[in-house]
């Protein structure tokens, strides 16, 4: 949808509303994956959009996405400073009625916990690339632009993350 708005001024309320609708969820998820706090991610995303509104006259639609991501990252770094980032995952709700045996459900739950723990224990840069690619479905080139690194660096981080996952969990 953003591509259709390229000639529009981002200071127009309808254009800004469309940018907000298109980007709020990906930015929220990105900050959550990177810094591990859902509440902070929502606050930071909202504040990034406030900064976008304050600077709308200086920016084009094409610059809005990268501006929002960079602003959100900078705000997150200011909040976190020297604290170690820990990633918490929401557990998926369990079905009330299942045809699986309790042992099968227990094995599945243990595997899910092991997977979440292993992802959380990945080095930050590898975890970030892994989640952006596998959860957000971003391509390596998009991740490279977002993180301001080369595609080769993204490939290397992803390879390292997959090696660690295979070592700790095994092939699935």
Q: What is the DSSP letter of 2?
A: G
Which residues 6+ apart lie within 8 Å of 1 measured at CB? Answer: 18, 21, 22
Q: What is the pLDDT of residues 24-71, one digit of tens each?
A: 999 888 888 877 777 888 888 998 999 998 988 888 888 888 898 898
Q: What is the pLDDT of residues 115-160, one digit of tens each?
A: 888 888 889 899 889 988 988 888 999 889 988 999 999 999 999 9
CATH class of 2-80: mainly alpha
Fold entry, domain 102-169: Arc Repressor Mutant, subunit A (1.10.10)
Q: So what's the pLDDT on residue 96?
A: 54
d(CA 113, CA 72): 29
Cβ atoms of 164 and 122 closer than 8 Å: yes
Q: What is the pLDDT of residues 77-96, one digit of tens each?
A: 777 653 443 333 334 444 55
What are the structural domain ranges in the chain?
2-80, 102-169
pTM of the model: 0.46
The chain-wide mean pLDDT, for the chain, equals 80
Q: What is the pLDDT of residues 8-17, one digit of tens each?
A: 677 888 888 8
Q: So what's the pLDDT on residue 43?
A: 87
d(CA 13, CA 25): 19
Q: What is the DSSP letter of 82?
A: T
């Amino acid at each position: 949808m953003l591509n259709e708005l390229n000639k529009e001024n981002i200071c127009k309320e309808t254009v800004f509303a469309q940018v907000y609708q298109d980007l709020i969820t990906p930015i929220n998820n990105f900050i959550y994956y990177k810094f591990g706090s859902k509440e902070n991610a929502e606050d930071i995303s909202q504040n990034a959009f406030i900064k976008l509104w304050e600077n709308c006259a200086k920016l084009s639609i094409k610059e809005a996405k990268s501006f929002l991501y960079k602003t959100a990252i900078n705000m997150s770094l200011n909040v976190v400073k020297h604290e170690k980032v820990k990633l918490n995952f929401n557990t998926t709700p369990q079905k009330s009625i299942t045809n699986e045996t309790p042992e099968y459900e227990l094995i599945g739950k243990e595997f899910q916990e092991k997977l979440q723990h292993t992802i959380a224990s990945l080095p930050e840069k590898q975890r970030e690339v892994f989640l952006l690619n596998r959860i957000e479905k971003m391509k390596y080139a998009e991740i490279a632009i977002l993180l301001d690194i080369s595609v080769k660096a993204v490939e290397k981080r992803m390879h390292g993350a997959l090696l660690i996952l295979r070592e700790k969990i095994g092939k699935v």
